[in-house]
């Protein structure tokens, strides 16, 4: 059998309604890796937010995180990082937002948000990766 690269999203695909990997999913992915296939997770989540899922599998998994901005190999080595140009990031941060819409951004290894969002904390509680409330205009480089 020819080894294949199997890439999957996490939320709404590999993760169940409880936002975790089902034991059957874990076993299936381990079986695929055991047969020589290469696995990759692709997500809008931050790399640190995806670590627990990789650790649970116990097999090599490539990671495409932050909506494609970062790519890591199975040994956590950074393969590629693509950042928004600073001027574009400033323009996006300064855009008006409707009431109730939170500004979320990743700044290095941090998740920053412009106001508390308890539902988001609950969603990510099991990964140990939470946000910090900060004024995004003050995090500029």
Domain boundaries, the chain: 5-81, 86-138
pTM: 0.82
Residue-by-residue pLDDT tens, the chain, 141 positions = 798 999 999 988 999 888 889 999 999 999 999 999 999 999 999 998 899 999 999 999 999 999 999 999 999 999 999 988 989 988 999 999 898 888 888 888 888 898 888 888 777 777 778 888 988 777 654
Topology given in CATH for the domain delimited by 5-81: Rossmann fold (3.40.50)
Task: Count Cβ atoms below 10 Å from residue 36 Cβ, excluding itself.
Answer: 10
Distances (CA, A) of 82 to 30, 50, 62, 68, 126: 30, 18, 17, 8, 27
């Amino acid at each position: 059998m020819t080894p294949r690269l199997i890439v999957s999203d996490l939320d709404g695909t590999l993760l169940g309604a409880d936002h975790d990997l089902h034991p059957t999913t874990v076993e299936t992915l381990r079986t695929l890796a055991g047969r020589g296939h290469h696995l990759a997770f692709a997500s809008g989540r931050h790399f640190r937010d995806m670590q627990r899922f990789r650790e649970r599998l116990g097999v090599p998994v490539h990671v495409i995180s932050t909506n494609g901005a970062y790519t890591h190999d199975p040994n956590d080595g950074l393969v590629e990082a693509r950042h928004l140009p600073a001027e574009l990031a400033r323009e996006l941060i300064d855009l008006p937002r409707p009431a109730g819409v939170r500004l979320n951004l990743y700044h290095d290894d941090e998740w920053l948000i412009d106001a508390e969002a308890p539902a988001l904390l609950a969603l990510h509680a099991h990964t140990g990766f939470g946000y910090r409330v900060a004024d995004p205009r003050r995090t500029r480089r």
